[in-house]
Amino acid sequence: MKRLSFFALFLILLIGVSLTSCNFNGSNDVPISVNEDSSLKELKKKYESLVNEKSVLEDRLLNLTSSYSSLQTEITKLKADIKRIDEEIENSYSIFSYLENSVLESAVLVSHSSFSESNFWFFDFKDYIGGGIGSGFIFRQIGNYYYILTNNHVIYPKEGSTLEEIYVNDYYYNEYSATLLANDASYDMAILRIERKANDLPVMKFASDNPVGNDLVFAIGNPHGQINSVGIGNVLGYSKVNLSKPVASSNVKYDVINHDAYMLSGNSGGMLVNLAYEVVGINSWGGTTDTYENHRGLASPVLKIKEFISQNERYLRWWKWKRKYVFL
């Protein structure tokens, strides 16, 4: 009986030790489980951080790509603008180069002086009354003779004048005494002739028809005596001449060209030229201020110029015949 009790006690102790061992091992498993859960949280947190960082980088890349695309568009536009400006510069250079080398050499400065004559015994006297200055251009050459068109009011005598002296200065500042061949107040035009031994001055060509609205034109003349000035503008239309008071030297009744190419006193008689470098008009009236705003110029159209020359062609033919006759 004692032996059985001892065995039972031993068995109980053994079971107790086993249970204690199991509880110890179980207490070791709990911290491991907690550590694994903490690692997963850290890993998840890092994952989420990387995902957010990737999203930010993707957004930045998208913005940069969009900006790059915009820059590429802007660069393409700038290149196109630069190319267009280069072409305009080249065209402008070509225009002004031709104007300088051909058209401006046909332009002349016209001046006149009015005198009253008197004499005493065997002495002749002339008293200066006044004068004027304007512009003109060469429209024909016959041998050494050059024929110049200008305004009638540019060379019109001053009141009380008995003697007129007309002079022409060419592109090279050479001065010539000019002969008046024809003039007409109803056209406000006059034809002059000079003689030049060197045959190196170009002759202007006339356009086949009058210019129309918005045509680009160049007003070439000598404002205030400044030789070879060029004003650029457009044809605005046509209108009647409306002078503040009647002028004996200018009595134009037909419609004249309105344009906004800048010109001042002294441009009268100068040519109005188109992009084909042809004369489309002769400037007769313009602004008297030094501002460009609301500037207007008036010019007789080319068909009226041709009409005037045609009516006075006999003077040109006569001089041509006389020149041939003299040298033959």
Q: What is the pLDDT of residues 179-212, one digit of tens each?
A: 999 999 999 999 999 998 777 889 999 999 999 9
48 confidence band (pLDDT: 50, 70, 90): confident
**CATH class for domain 107-201?**
mainly beta
With contact defined as beta carbons under 8 Å apart, do 108 and 148 qualify? yes
- CATH architecture, range 216-308: Beta Barrel (2.40)
Residue 256 has pLDDT above 80, yes or no: yes
Residue 15 has pLDDT above 70, yes or no: no
The per-residue DSSP string of 199-260 comes to -----PPBPSS---TT-EEEEEE-GGG-TTEEEEEEEEEEE----SS-BTTB---S-EEEE-
Q: Which residues are catalytic?
A: 153, 188, 268
Phi, psi at residue 271, to the nearest 5°? -90, 150
And the tokens for 93? 């250079």
DSSP for residue 289: S
Domain boundaries, the chain: 107-201, 216-308
And the tokens for 164? 């007129």
Question: What is the pTM assigned to this prediction?
Answer: 0.69
Percent of the chain at pLDDT > 70 equals 76
pLDDT, averaged across the chain: 80
Q: What is the pLDDT of residues 290-315, one digit of tens each?
A: 455 556 889 999 999 999 999 999 88
Question: Are domains 107-201 and 216-308 of this chain identical in fold?
Answer: yes
